[in-house]
Structure 1
Amino acid sequence: MTPQLQQAIRLLQLSTLDLQQEIQEALESNPMLERQEEGEDFDNSDPLAEGDSLTLTSPQEIASTSSEQHEAQLEEGEWHERIPSELPVDTAWEDVYQTSASSLPSNDDDEWDFTSRTSSGESLHSHLLWQLNLAPMSDKDRLIAVTLIDCMNPQGYLEETLEEVLEAFDPELDVELDEIEAVLHRIQQFEPAGIGARDLRECLLLQLRQLPAQTAWLEEAKRLVEEHLDLLGSRDYAALGRRLRLKEDELRQVVELIQRLNPRPGAQIESSEPEYIVPDIIVRKDNERWLVELNQEAMPRLRVNPQYAGFVRRADSSADNTFMRNQLQEARWFIKSLQSRNETLMKVATQIVEHQRGFLDYGDEAMKPLVLHDIAEAVGMHESTISRVTTQKYMHTPRGIYELKYFFSSHVSTAAGGECSSTAIRAIIKKLVAAENSKKPLSDSKIAGLLEAQGIQVARRTVAKYRESLGIAPSSERKRLL
Structure 2
Amino acid sequence: MKQGLSLRVSQHLALTPQLQQSIRLLQLSTLELSQEVDQMLDDNPFLEQNVDEPPREEFGLPQADTPVRNDDLAAESATNSIAEYAGETRATAENDSEVTPLSADDGQSWEGDGSATLSPDDSEWGGDAKPSSNNLNGNEDADITELAGSQQSLQSYLHRQALAFHLSEEDRAALRFLIESLNDDGYLEDTLTSLAEGLAGDDTEQVEQLVHHFTVALSLLQSLEPAGVGAQNLAECLRLQLLALLAQGAADPVPKPMMAVAKVALRICAQPMDLLARRDIKRLVQLSGATDAAVREAIALIGRLEPKPGRRFVDVERNIVVPDVLVVKVGKGAAAKFQVRLNTEVMPRLRVHDIYANALKQHKGGGTDAANHAALQQRLQEARWFIKNIQQRFDTILRVSNAIVERQKSFFTHGELAMRPLVLREIADELGLHESTISRVTTAKYMATPFGTFELKYFFGSGLGTDSGGNASSTAVRALIKQFIGAESEKKPLSDNQISEMLKEQGIDCARRTVAKYREGLRIAPASLRKAL
- Assess same fold via TM > 0.5: yes
Q: 1:144 to 1:28 in 2, by over 3 A?
A: closer
2:433 is paired with a residue whose SS is coil
How much has 1:42 moved relative to structure 2?
8.1
Flag the 1:397–1:215 CA change in 2: closer, same or farther, 3 A: farther
Q: How far is 1:480 from its partner?
A: 1.2
2:358 to 306, 310, 327: 310
- Which amino acid in the other structure matches residue 383 of structure 1? E
1:156-305 alignment runs, 5 A limit: 156-161=186-191, 170=203, 171-172=205-206, 175=209, 180-211=214-245, 212-213=248-249, 214=253, 218-229=258-269, 232-236=276-280, 244-245=290-291, 255-270=299-314, 273-287=317-331, 288-305=336-353
Question: Residue type matched to 1:322 in 2?
Answer: A
Q: Secondary structure at the match of 1:310?
A: helix
For 1:141, the aligned partner's letter is: D
What SS does structure 2 have at the residue aligned with 1:396?
Answer: strand
**Under a length normalisation based on structure 1, what TM-score does the superposition of the two structures give?**
0.79
Mapped partners of 1:474, 1:258: distance in 2:
19
Paired residue type of 2:43: S
Q: Which amino acid counterpart does residue 262 of structure 2 have in structure 1?
A: K
Whether 1:139 aligns to 2:179 is: no
More divergent stretch after superposition (460-469 vs 250-259): 250-259
Q: Say whether the 8 Å CA contact 1:123–1:270 is kept in structure 2.
A: yes
Quote the Cα distance in structure 2 between the aligned partners of 1:464 and 1:67.
58
Deviation at 1:314, TM superposition (A): 6.5
Moved more, 23-32 or 168-177: 168-177
Task: Determine which of 352, 376, 387 is the counterpart of 1:335.
Answer: 387
Supply the distance in 2 between the matched residues of 1:410 and 1:96 (Cα, whole angstroms): 43
CA contact (8 A) 1:412 1:420 kept: yes
Aligned partner letter, 1:191: E
Q: Deviations over 1:123-178 (max 9, x none)?
A: 75676566556744222223443554466454333334556667776414763877
Name the aligned partner's letter for residue 108 of structure 2.
D
In structure 1, what is the Cα distance between the partners aligned to 2:390 and 2:452? 26
Judged with a 3 Å threshold, the aligned counterparts in structure 2 of structure 1 residues 416 and 132 are, in CA distance, closer, same or farther, namely same
Q: Which moved more, 1:389-398 or 1:121-130?
A: 121-130
In the TM superposition, what whole-angstrom CA distance separates every residue of 1:261-308 from its partner, at most 9, and x where no partner exists?
A: 211223433255322211100111011110100001112322223332
Amino acid paired to 2:102: D
Aligned-pair distance for 1:447? 1.0
SS at match of 1:39: coil
Aligned pair 1:15/2:63, yes or no?
no
Alpha-carbon spacing, 1:431–1:332, altered in 2? closer, same or farther (3 Å): same
Unmatched runs of 5 consecutive residues or more in structure 2: 1-14, 80-99, 111-142
Taking the aligned partners of 1:141 and 1:132, their CA distance within structure 2 comes to 11
Cα distance change of structure 1 residues 32 and 285 upon mapping to structure 2, 3 Å threshold = same
The 1:62/1:24 distance shift into structure 2, 3 A limit, reads: farther
Q: How does 1:47-446 map to 2 (within 5 A)?
A: 55=61, 61=62, 64-68=65-69, 90=102, 95-96=108-109, 128=158, 132=162, 135-146=165-176, 148-149=178-179, 152-161=182-191, 170=203, 171-172=205-206, 175=209, 180-211=214-245, 212-213=248-249, 214=253, 218-229=258-269, 232-236=276-280, 244-245=290-291, 255-270=299-314, 273-287=317-331, 288-311=336-359, 312-313=361-362, 315-317=364-366, 318=369, 321-446=373-498
Output the CA distance in 2 between the equivalents of 1:316 and 1:200. Answer: 74
One-letter identity of the residue aligned with 2:338: W
Q: Which has the higher contact order (CA 8 A, sep 6+)?
A: 1
Give the C-alpha shift of residue 460 in structure 1.
1.0
Q: Offset at 1:255? A: 4.6
Distance 1:12 1:289 in 2: 28
2:17–2:107 CA contact under 8 A, matched in 1: no
Q: Distance in 1 between matches of 2:396 and 2:418?
A: 26
Inter-partner Cα distance in structure 2 for 1:226 and 1:286: 60
**Contact map agreement 1:35 1:301 (CA 8 A) in 2:** yes
Does the aligned pair in 1 maintain the 2:485–2:493 contact within 8 Å? yes
Unaligned ranges ≥5, structure 1: 45-52, 56-60, 73-82, 98-112
Give the Cα–Cα distance (whole angstroms) in 2 for the partners of residues 293 and 154 of structure 1: 41
Spell out, residue by residue over 1:205-251, the C-alpha distance to the aligned partner (whole angstroms, 9 max, x if none).
3223445535665413422321134564333557878965585xx87
| Residues 120, 272 of structure 1: 8 Å contact kept | no
User: Could you tell me how far 1:456 is from its partner in structure 2?
Assistant: 0.7
1:316 alignment partner AA: G
- Which whole-Å CA distance do the structure 2 matches of 1:62 and 1:445 have between them? 60
d(CA) in 1 for partners of 2:530 and 2:468? 33
1:410-434 Cα shifts (integer Å, max 9, x gaps):
1111111110111111111111111
- Judge conservation of contact 1:370–1:409 (CA < 8 Å) in 2: yes
In structure 2, the partner of 1:110 is none
1:392–1:67 distance in 2 versus 1, CA, 3 Å:
same
Secondary structure of 1:340's counterpart equals helix
- Name 1:106's counterpart in structure 2: none
Give the partner amino acid of 2:506.
Q
Structure 1 stretch 133-142 or stretch 363-372: which is displaced more? Answer: 133-142
Cα distance in 1 for partners of 2:160, 2:381 equals 54
Tell me: CA distance 1:479–1:355, structure 2 relative to 1, closer, same or farther (3 Å): same
Assess, with a 3 A threshold, how the Cα gap between structure 1 residues 84 and 324 changes in structure 2: closer, same or farther.
farther
RMSD: 3.7
How far apart are the structure 1 equivalents of 2:190 and 2:53? Answer: 63
Distance 1:122 1:62 in 2: 49
Q: What secondary structure does 1:291 align onto?
A: strand
Pair 1:27-2:27 in alignment: no
**What is the distance in 1 between the residues matched to 2:54 and 2:259?**
70
Matched with 1:76 is: none
